[in-house]
Structure 1
């Protein structure tokens, strides 16, 4: 588990996704089936501005019987990996665990490229991109956006009122 206190979430592959760890006023969800390439680029471009620092956290490896095994995320195909830091979470008794990897200062174009590849159904990781304002969890099913500022989420919900998934809003 990796605690992202700014967003009040635990990034943990064994827990519920970040979306379900915050209240409805701090989150918005986009179903991949409701997006197209142009709209996906617009959403990502709205969340992350061109000159902002973008960071990433993902599961890079699983530990089974004290042996590290790659999650086969294939991120190197889409992102220039630098500033790599690992946090290993392992149960000493069972030898099971997870390696969470943090990468800082990503390029906006690379984030966009990765999101488009996931949208197309290519291999994905348990991954989230974040900056000082937003956290964006990406999977082949959804793009979840979280902020500690409910007004920013309200603006996204207003801008994408016809597109965002309202199923869990209440």
Structure 2
């Protein structure tokens, strides 16, 4: 996805997408204000009519050592059409991400709810459509989009709920 004239990259050697764009292209929700119904509403509002895919870290390769990640994603998603993508990383650490096409909304909601609520181990994972990215870990849900109107509407709808810690700060961690 290209936002602000630059391609968004997803990898263990890159900043998460939230930190690759400016404020008008991103919104973050912290776990401290999350509950199941709010997560469902946020993801449903984001997913809308889009067709989402997911990309996640499968393996880290350091010299002759390969560490395969335990993701438990098969508990949530029917993974039949997937593609492995090798990435030449920095400092002799390479990695393999997996891309899965056409993720259904209900398993996506269930997975994100379980991760944010602490009932599931987080994976290094990203969900994306043509114009939106959802990054989730056990303490935040980030939504990034080149559609600034979408982000502006989201910030208005979820005012007082979304995390403003990084608003107005530089785009680096």
Same fold judged by TM-score > 0.5? yes
Q: How far apart are the structure 2 equivalents of 1:9 and 1:90?
A: 17
1:8–1:22: 8 Å Cα contact kept in structure 2? no
Matched residue SS, 2:9 = strand
1:134–1:146: 8 Å Cα contact kept in structure 2? yes
Q: Which residue of 2 aligns with 1:12?
A: 11
**Once superposed, which parts of structure 1, at least 4 consecutive aligned residues long, lie more than 4 Å away?**
none
Alignment of 1:61-140 (within 5 A): 61-90=59-88, 94=92, 96-121=93-118, 122-140=120-138
Question: Number of residue pairs matched?
Answer: 165
Instruction: Write the deviation string for residues 31-58 of structure 1: whole angstroms up to 9, x where unpaired.
Output: 0111111101100010002x53110011
2:81–2:101: 8 Å Cα contact kept in structure 1? yes
Gaps of 5+ in 2: 169-173
Q: How far apart are the structure 1 equivalents of 2:133 and 2:104?
A: 16
In the TM superposition, what is the alpha-carbon distance from 1:67 to its structure 2 partner? 3.9
In the TM superposition, what is the alpha-carbon distance from 1:120 to its structure 2 partner? 2.2
Q: Which residue of 2 aligns with 1:35?
A: 34
Q: What value does the CA root-mean-square deviation take over the aligned residues?
A: 1.9
Q: Given the alignment of the two structures, is residue 26 of structure 1 paired with residue 25 of structure 2, yes or no?
A: yes
In the TM superposition, what is the alpha-carbon distance from 1:89 to its structure 2 partner? 1.6
In the TM superposition, what is the alpha-carbon distance from 1:62 to its structure 2 partner? 1.1
Task: Report the TM-score, using the length of structure 1 for normalisation.
Answer: 0.90
In the TM superposition, what is the alpha-carbon distance from 1:97 to its structure 2 partner? 1.1
Gaps of 5+ in 1: none
Instruction: Write the deviation string for residues 8-52 of structure 1: whole angstroms up to 9, x where unpaired.
Output: 311121221110000110000000111111101100010002x53
Q: How far apart are the structure 2 equivalents of 1:168 and 1:54?
A: 26
